[in-house]
Amino acid sequence: MSETSLSLDEIYALAHDAMTANGCNDANAGALADIVMRAERDGSHSHGLFRVPGYVKALRSGKVDGKATPTVTKKTPAIIHVDGHGCFAPLAQAAGLPVLAEATAEIGVAALSLTGIHHFAALWPETEFLADRGLVGIACTAYMPMVAPSGTREKLFGTNPISFAWPRPGKTPVCYDMATAAMAMGDVQIAARDGKTVPLGTGLDAEGNETTDPAKIAAGVLLPFGGYKGSAIALMVELLAAGLTGEQFSYEAKQTDNGDGGPPRGGEMVIGLSPALIAGDGWESHVEAFMDRMTAIDGVRIPGARRHQNRLDTGPRAINSTLVETIRGLI
């Protein structure tokens, strides 16, 4: 597999140029390119440049408005709503997250619902934004049907990721961002592209048979992680990201999507909590004593540690050459 070396600035510029060449204004292109660059920086390849062709498809089909300006409304002091008016999610998040952080720090608990957005990126930027400000962050979003509820073979849930971040003042936060599917579809697609297999239990082929062939799973159905437990969490995400925001459930997103290959319209829920206000004085030392006990166990790795370690390397990244040329061809 041929690879091309790109600096972080070059990754940002490649994504930004692809967006502006296909109808994005600078605000939308910049917000999206920043998320793409940060994903590649942190080693989250399935949410980096790999997503750009899908973003472009959504722009070219007219499904996404690359010039939309999100509007922020405070329904109550602790309930914030952002209407993206058809934009990609990063710009709507950039508009709403500072308001959510301020409300959380003042009140202790606050919620941000985002609607009218097209989410195709990682979730950890939202929760880390809160953790970097001493707050706890929880975020989730639904997608289109790709995952069968436990015990079935029929697609109903999206991959339905959920992210959680806990602040550790003076240290990198605890932060995870995971699909409730056994594997994110982007990772399945990359495995298929690179000629690799995936673990048994990731999904089924179109006939409902277990397989380790990612191409057959992409044409079939993903399974939830952990059987009925992951299925229950996927259901929770549907209810939070669609039921609680008033946006589309995954099956509804499929019904209204134009099938261009880009992200469908959907919703996102982000919840902030203040440990300083809820737990009170001493919360940091109390938590750090627990973290010290946990990390003393041989083999333990803190969620997010690998991503933060990757972040320390500011050098160029090796990107699939075919992908780079594909994106350049879109400009």
The catalytic residues are 46-47, 187
Euclidean distance between CA atoms 253 and 58, whole angstroms: 14
Q: Output DSSP code: residue 15.
A: H
Dist CA 184 CA 245 (whole Å): 23
109-118/79-88 β-pairing: parallel
Q: Which two tokens stand for residue 289?
A: 């004593």
User: How many CB atoms lie under 10 A from the CB of residue 200?
Assistant: 10
Bridge-partner residues for 299, per DSSP?
none
The tokens of 235 are what?
């259901």
Amino acid identity of 62? G
Relative orientation angle of helices 8-20 and 26-42, to the nearest 10 degrees: 140
CA 209 vs CA 158, 202, 204, 206, 258: distances in Å: 20, 11, 5, 7, 29
φ, ψ dihedrals at 152, nearest 5°: -125, 175
- What the block records as the tokens of 134 is 């001493």
Q: Hey, is 187 helix, strand or coil?
A: helix
Q: Which residues pair with 269 in a beta bridge?
A: 113, 140
CA distance 202 to 55: 26
- Give the SS3 label for residue 80: strand
Q: Give whole-number Cα distances, 80 to 113, 120, 141, 265, in Å.
A: 6, 22, 16, 19
